[in-house]
């Protein structure tokens, strides 16, 4: 069976972009693939984290997966640092990765910004760890949002380079799965910026745990232009804020973008926004409620993570052993 690997960093607030771009798609895919869903805490520590918060957020992301509908019996759910193979394989793959490939990564440039000299080595080599995450399980498919596309191309390059270097067909080249109408959810305050966990403005994103009032307020305040809703897809494309809200509406209601455009063509934003707020609250309200219920039982969450780690390790260890063999690292 084809295997899926994907993950979310336990940093900041999980938001509608994480849900629509990734987690919601995983829920739909879980019956057709062998699925491994990770809470990537080793990625989180590429920038400073408060230890107490990191632990809490690791449980929160786990709760979000389950509350959104990932079945922990069917899928493996675990946090990355409990499987040592991620860091080990990252080292081995890092030794096959030219610096030139990493220098092209736009996310490093964005995150390091002007403080490039102060940025940690981990932040720079982050995409190698991401390749290791996927290849450790020989995953064939990786469902993610649009922003991860470049990292996935690098994962494919690294897998190909390893296979060629050692003359093997060991790692499959993982296929990105970027689909739906909300592969890149934008900030509610600025249609040119991605909705992000780290945005300072609370009004820029809808968090997965927001209640109906917070959701309604944020959508009401979402930036739009003074015209009525677009009449055609072409018109929508030229209006990023409107296009973003239409994409969110379509994803939440399982309609195509064209169907939503047709339904709302020429109507006023105020009625559209109040409909979108109701739609968002009805989907996220259930998930947020379930998350809160799960988070009140940290023992249950930890049990899931512990069992997930065992299952993940059982897949990872033999693969890593084979990598050692292929590379000539003696296991006496
Ligand atoms: P992270 O934690 O930033 O985001 C988790 C998932 O949410 C998607 N996403 C979005 N989708 C649509 N619109 C947005 N505004 C938006 N923001 C985030 C991301 O594309 C991602 O799918 N490097 C990854 C985590 C990772 C990973 C992996 C993913 C580590 N190892 C291996 C897949 C496979 C990250 O930082 O995601």
CATH number, position 321? 3.40.50.620
**Based on the domain organization, do 97 and 236 belong to the same domain?**
no
Q: Above 80 in pLDDT, residue 1?
A: no
**Based on the domain organization, do 159 and 32 belong to the same domain?**
yes
- For ligand 1, mutation pick of 5, 22, 38, 54 (most atoms within 8 Å of CB): 22
**Based on the domain organization, do 246 and 312 belong to the same domain?**
no
| CA–CA separation, 54 and 325 (whole Å) | 35
**Based on the domain organization, do 145 and 262 belong to the same domain?**
no
Q: What is the mean pLDDT of residues 122-148?
A: 97
**Based on the domain organization, do 126 and 86 belong to the same domain?**
yes
Look at residues 125, 139, 131 and name the one whose alpha carbon lies nearest to residue 158: 131
- For ligand 1, mutation pick of 9, 18, 204 (most atoms within 8 Å of CB): 18
Residue 83 inside a domain? The answer is yes
Active-site residue numbers? Answer: 111, 194, 197
**Based on the domain organization, do 142 and 47 belong to the same domain?**
yes
Count of domains forming the chain: 2
| The pLDDT of residue 111 | 84
At 150-193, the pLDDT tens digits run: 999 999 999 999 999 999 999 999 999 999 999 999 999 999 99
| Mean pLDDT over each residue of the chain, to the nearest integer | 96
Residue that wins the pLDDT comparison between 115 and 167? 167
CA 116–ligand 1 middle distance (angstroms): 22
- For ligand 1, mutation pick of 3, 8, 204 (most atoms within 8 Å of CB): 8
Locus of tokens 């080249």: 173
**Based on the domain organization, do 22 and 126 belong to the same domain?**
yes
Contact 62, 304 (CB under 8 A): yes
Listed ranges 106-120, 195-209, 272-286; the one with the highest mean pLDDT: 272-286
Q: What is the mean pLDDT of residues 72-93?
A: 98
- Structure confidence at residue 12 as a pLDDT band (50, 70, 90): confident
Listed range (6-20, 190-204, 245-259) with the worst mean pLDDT: 190-204
Three-state DSSP at 14 gives coil
**Based on the domain organization, do 158 and 210 belong to the same domain?**
no
328-332: long-range pairs with CB below 8 Å, 24+: none
Look at residues 46, 140, 34, 183 and name the one whose alpha carbon lies nearest to residue 11: 46
Q: Above 90 in pLDDT, residue 42?
A: yes
Closest C-alpha residue for ligand 1 atom 16: 17
| pTM (2 d.p.) | 0.97
Q: What is the mean pLDDT of residues 74-79?
A: 98
CA 301–ligand 1 middle distance (angstroms): 22
| The pLDDT of residue 139 | 98
Kindly give, in sequence order, each residue whose CB lies less than 8 Å from that of residue 258, ignoring residues fewer than 6 positions away. Answer: 233
The strands making up 76-79's β-sheet, listed across from edge to edge, are 76-79, 34-39, 3-8, 141-143, 175-177
Domain boundaries, position 82: 3-182+297-327
**Based on the domain organization, do 90 and 121 belong to the same domain?**
yes
CA 313–ligand 1 middle distance (angstroms): 23
| The pLDDT of residue 109 | 86
**Based on the domain organization, do 56 and 108 belong to the same domain?**
yes
| The pLDDT of residue 263 | 96
CA 147–ligand 1 middle distance (angstroms): 7
80-83: long-range pairs with CB below 8 Å, 24+: 80/7, 80/38, 80/39, 80/40, 80/41, 80/42, 80/43, 80/133, 81/41, 81/42, 82/305, 82/306, 82/308, 82/309, 82/312, 82/313, 83/136, 83/309, 83/312, 83/313, 83/316
- Structure confidence at residue 105 as a pLDDT band (50, 70, 90): very high
Contact 54, 10 (CB under 8 A): yes
Kindly state the percentage of the chain with pLDDT values over 70: 100
Q: What is the CATH number of the domain that holds 221?
A: 1.10.240.10
Residue 169 inside a domain? The answer is yes
**Based on the domain organization, do 208 and 145 belong to the same domain?**
no
Q: Above 90 in pLDDT, residue 85?
A: yes
> Which tokens is 168 given?
């093997």
Q: Above 90 in pLDDT, residue 112?
A: no
Torsion sign across C-alpha atoms 88, 89, 90, 91: positive
Residue 191 inside a domain? The answer is no
- Structure confidence at residue 201 as a pLDDT band (50, 70, 90): confident
**Based on the domain organization, do 166 and 210 belong to the same domain?**
no
Q: Cβ < 6 Å from ligand 1: which residues?
A: 5-9, 17-18, 21-22, 40, 43, 130, 133-134, 142, 144-145, 147-148, 151, 183-185, 194-195
Listed range (25-29, 83-87, 114-118, 239-243) with the worst mean pLDDT: 114-118
């Amino acid at each position: 069976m084809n295997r899926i690997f994907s993950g979310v960093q336990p940093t900041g607030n999980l938001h509608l972009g994480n849900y629509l771009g990734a987690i919601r798609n995983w829920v739909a895919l879980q019956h057709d693939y062998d699925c491994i869903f990770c809470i990537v805490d080793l990625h989180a520590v590429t920038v400073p984290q408060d230890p107490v918060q990191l632990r809490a957020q690791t449980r929160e992301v786990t709760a979000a997966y389950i509350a959104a509908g990932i079945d922990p019996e069917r899928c493996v759910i675990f946090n990355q640092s409990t499987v040592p193979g991620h860091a080990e394989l990252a080292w081995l793959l890092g030794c096959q990765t030219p610096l030139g490939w990493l220098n092209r990564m736009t996310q490093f440039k964005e995150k390091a910004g002007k403080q490039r000299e102060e940025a940690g080595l981990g932040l720079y080599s982050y995409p190698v760890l991401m390749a290791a995450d996927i290849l450790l399980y020989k995953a064939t498919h990786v469902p993610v949002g649009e922003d991860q596309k470049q990292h996935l191309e690098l994962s494919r390059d690294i897998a190909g380079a390893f296979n060629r270097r050692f003359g093997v067909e060991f790692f499959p080249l993982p296929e990105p799965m970027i689909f739906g109408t909300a592969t890149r959810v934008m900030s509610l305050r600025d249609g040119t910026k991605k909705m992000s966990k780290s945005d300072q403005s609370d009004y820029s994103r809808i968090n997965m745990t927001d209640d109906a009032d917070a959701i309604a307020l944020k959508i009401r305040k979402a930036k739009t232009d003074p015209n009525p809703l677009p009449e055609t897809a072409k018109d929508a494309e030229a209006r990023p804020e409107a296009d973003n809200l239409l994409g969110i509406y379509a994803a939440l209601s399982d309609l195509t973008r064209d169907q939503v455009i047709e339904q709302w063509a020429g109507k006023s934003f105020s009625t559209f926004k109040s409909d979108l707020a109701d739609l968002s609250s009805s989907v996220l309200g259930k998930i947020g409620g379930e998350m809160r219920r799960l988070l009140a039982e940290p023992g249950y969450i930890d049990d899931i993570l512990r069992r997930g780690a065992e299952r993940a390790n059982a897949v990872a260890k033999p693969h890593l052993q084979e990598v050692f063999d292929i590379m000539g690292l003696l296991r006496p």
